Structure 1
């Protein structure tokens, strides 16, 4: 059987391409996965969440294989798999979910109760249950009949693979944030963060019918990309306060809905602002009108060794809740239940309802050999979305 190249995390800013054994139908605790499959990766993306790990700010063990945004072709099928077949092209939700527990049955696959013995949350390529990631040639996926989204036509899917590869995480995540923020027809929305998740949120807000979509960031290249794609932008590194910048666009100092696509690595607002993990949440509480709907899909953790304060290292943040409570805010945070949205978004892509995705996402397809370099470039603030193509499957 063939080998398996994979991107391994070895410590902060240290990655290796390792040559591993071909994966087996076995879970991280050594149990047989007759309900699983082996897939040959067609695309596996570098995510902003991977950058948290890369920087050493999301705790992860040395040697962990990265990659939770995975799309591939099924090459081996377990004994108990009934509906997924060898040769199928599938999207892999980043949540590892059994489909059998109470939470999975209630469509909360982001908090599956069985796939991580330490907490109700399993994910590939994180320190969440020991499930190895898919920035590799091949990977094992358990509970295949439940988890995998099969593309109905392989040739049609490959023609739109740069968009469909986003279904494993960031497009459903951006969409979920907008849904939880109550974005709808005619809504005005402020999206914090112009990285790939923020850009997917902007595209999702357009699909949901928002009227004015404003994206904020400090990265001028990313803001320029978003502006060119037809969205409004604000630069939160400027001296001008955020409500003033929103008023200059909208004529009002508040929006209907707010989305957080930044998380704990946020900076405060202004030209000399330092790290402030509460900055985005406090800004959203300020600029979203009452009753305030906020979808916060940016990552927040306990265990950030590089946080500036003891409290922030432990995951305690200075949220202005008492000041903003009177606005009746609703704040939904946590990981996205990808399976709740991925099929609908797949159909929107296949039927041409999201053809504008490419312009705002700025995908660059790279071979596995260039992945470590791409991590460095992405870490420097590149406006690109890097998609790894281990086997040369994607035609430019």
Structure 2
């Protein structure tokens, strides 16, 4: 049997590509023991990775800003070719190319039946919800690898209808595992619709995906805020307005010349808990973005919050922030009757429709996020450049299957 290689967290600022065992059709031991399940997983499939991406959520771990242990495998953005299926997999076969939502879901529990696959009850004994290669998410092996095991495969995997078309559009389709649905979820739950004015905080890949999704949803103006000039130029490349927060100016003052008023109809936080204050050299202030979007969201506005917030951050600025307790002006949001949507995006709620847009040539998300192909061996370099603020979405090609 062939082996496998996977990206591994080695300590703050360091990752490596290491050899490991070829995956088995088995549940992680903690999951099986925690739920009293058999280890054997005849409902699972093994994928040979076609594409797997570096995510900002991975970067939080690699910076040492979570409780991830040394040796944590990485990678939850998974697109691959089926190479093996268990006896209970009925509707997939070898050779199918599929997208795997980053949330692992059983398809059987109350949450899955309600479409809340980001908080499945049967895949992580520690809490609701699981993901591949992520801290406190059930011990599932990461997908920045050559091969990966996907449980409950008939439920979790989204099969692409045509293999040749899938390979042709793989740089777009690989975004379906996380950032395209996540960005769309942020915009959709914020209430973005025809004619909306929208503010998106953060011009990283998820922020760019949220901005692009806002355009798909019919927004009249999408404003993206960041302090990274290269990333702001990337937002401008597909028609967004931008505001440079490094100036230290009041956000409402920056928005007013663009939309003619100091508020917007909807706002999205695509930054999360490592937010900094405004102005050049501003220090970390984790509640900044949440307070910003409440400040510029009009009365009755929706606030989508796909940006990551954690319950354990050893590198936080104070003792409260280390447990995810930050200085949010909730009274302001309450007074303005805002509605908030937080948590993991339930990818399956959106991925099929977004796939259809890509296959019909109506969505070009890879261009919007500046998708950039690298090899598995180049993953450490990708992490380093991404951490420095590169305006790119790094797509790893572990098995040389992405067309030139």
Aligned to 1:260: 269
Q: Residue 132 of structure 1 aligns to a residue in which SS?
A: coil
Aligned to 2:7: 7
Counterpart-to-counterpart distance in 2, 1:256 and 1:307: 32
Aligned to 1:69: 77
Contact 1:67 / 1:124 at 8 angstroms: preserved in 2? yes
Contact 1:241 / 1:270 at 8 angstroms: preserved in 2? no
2:130 is matched with which residue: 111, 119, 122? 122
Counterpart-to-counterpart distance in 1, 2:334 and 2:110: 32
The 10-residue stretch of structure 1 (357-366 or 183-192) with the greater mean CA deviation from structure 2: 357-366
**1:255-276 deviation per Cα after TM superposition (whole angstroms, max 9, x unaligned):** 0000010000000112342101
Deviation at 1:305? 1.0
- Unaligned segments of structure 1, at least 5 residues: none
Contact 1:184 / 1:208 at 8 angstroms: preserved in 2? yes
Contact 2:295 / 2:332 at 8 angstroms: preserved in 1? no
Q: Residue 211 of structure 2 aligns to a residue in which SS?
A: helix
1:191 paired with 2:203, answer: no
Aligned counterparts, 1:280-295, within 5 A: 280-295=289-304
1:299 paired with 2:308, answer: yes
| TM-score, normalised relative to structure 2 | 0.96
Counterpart-to-counterpart distance in 2, 1:358 and 1:113: 33
The 10-residue stretch of structure 1 (26-35 or 45-54) with the greater mean CA deviation from structure 2: 26-35
1:82 paired with 2:90, answer: yes
Q: Give structure 1 regions of 4+ aligned residues with deviation exceeding 3 angstroms.
A: none
Contact 2:97 / 2:163 at 8 angstroms: preserved in 1? yes
Q: Residue 373 of structure 2 aligns to a residue in which SS?
A: strand
| TM-score, normalised relative to structure 1 | 0.98
Aligned to 2:120: 112
Aligned to 2:180: 171
Deviation at 1:59? 1.6
Q: How many residues align?
A: 395
Aligned to 2:342: 333
Q: Residue 172 of structure 2 aligns to a residue in which SS?
A: helix
Counterpart-to-counterpart distance in 1, 2:249 and 2:114: 44
- Unaligned segments of structure 2, at least 5 residues: 33-38
Counterpart-to-counterpart distance in 1, 2:312 and 2:216: 36
